[in-house]
A = this chain, B = another copy of it.
Amino acid sequence: MEIHGGNIYKLQREGRKDILDYSSNINPLGVPESLKKAVLENFLLLERYPDIDYTELREKIGKYNNIPAENIIVGNGATEVLFLYMKALKPKKVLIAAPTFAEYERALKNIDCIIDFFQMKEENNFVLDKENFMKKAAEYDLAVICNPNNPTGKFILKENIFEINEYLEKSNTKLFIDECFIEFIKGWEDKTAAGFKSENIFILRALTKFFALPGLRLGYGIVFNKKIREEINNIREPWSVNAFADLAGKVILNDEEYIKNTEKWIAEEREWFTKELKKFENNKIIKVYETETNFILIKLYNKTAEEFKNMMTEKNILVRNASNFKFLDKSFVRLAIKDRDKNEKVIKAMKEVLK
């Protein structure tokens, strides 16, 4: 399974220890120091089961989002929350805006349902055609949007989500919005669909991208629909969030310094890296799709993604061949945005590889 970019473990087993992983979209500021301190001070938390209701954790996440704790569902990574929602809703017909993250499809695989895709077109720079999407989605039980979208980096404005949701409510089409990367967007607090408190919307979040903790496994859902919440609680497995993930959620959301530093980093590096990548556009070597989050989709004109990936791997940089995303062809690659030092290395390597 290679759904999250290249398999860094495979490369490392082959002895490639110092490889830069640009296939994984993780905050380069790394694990917050506040968490390390908290883990050391609370190591003995491991000796007992976590609170089966995760009361305090849900309260902290609720506060972070200005939403009551009862509307928060936690899980073993965003993955578990996604799977739980799909199992609870059991939609018969689902429309997914694509190209996008492949896990939605996978989560629906064991549910007997029809999956269709609404194409966000290359000629529109992968921006969602709102009018046609909502008209088509009204024929479905569930519409799925990733916002900001992986791998395109495009973000749908709140007012457009509002309009889509209003339209879909009439046909009783539920709206699932994956906001796992939203915190990398400037001013995200005012841009999230959570603000609508709509019973028709389910929002997926992760604490593991923004806080660089993918190994810890902590995700959550924001859900105002009581029936769906109850059904999720009915089918969920107990203690799925481990004690350190539980602890992390209580600690890092208060780490204002880390949050501020991350906001500063992403604003600067997104601009710098985009600008540098765009220089390759001058000779029509690549096309850059502007991003609002912490990864960038590019299209190669003179190489396949596989060739490019192999050449970059030779230079100790692992990139994501994006050609297996629905509606993307073999010329697409996704790059993470990291810190300046690493981004410079990538630009340098690309100059050599693409010259």
Contacts and interface: CB of A to CB of B under 8 A. Distances in A.
Task: State the number of copies, please.
Answer: 2
Contacts of A13: 55
Given A7-B52, A52-B1, A55-B9, A46 B237 contact: no
A214 B24 contact: no
Interface stretch (A76-84, A113-121, A283-291): A76-84
Interface string A1-31: 1011001110001000000010010100011
Given A31-B43, A36-B43, A238-B1, A214 B77 contact: no
Contacts of A50: 215
21 contacts: A1-B52, A3-B238, A7-B52, A9-B52, A24-B48, A26-B48, A35-B46, A39-B39, A45-B215, A46-B212, A46-B216, A49-B214, A76-B217, A76-B237, A79-B238, A80-B240, A110-B235, A216-B242, A217-B239, A242-B242, A244-B244
Contact of A239 (B53, B79, B212, B244): B79
Given A242-B215, A242-B216, A237 B49 contact: no
A47 interface: yes
A13 B53 CA distance: 13
Contacts of A214: 46-49, 239
A242 B214 CA distance: 9
Given A52-B1, A79-B237, A212 B242 contact: no
A138 interface: no
Contact of A243 (B21, B35, B215): B215
Interface residues of A, number: 52
Nearest to A51: B9
Nearest to A243: B215
A217 B237 contact: no
A245 interface: yes
A76 B79 contact: no
Interface string A223-262: 0000000000001011110111110000000000000000
Contacts of A9: 51-53, 55
B36 A215 contact: no
Contacts of A76: 76, 217, 237, 240, 242
Interface in A265-321: none
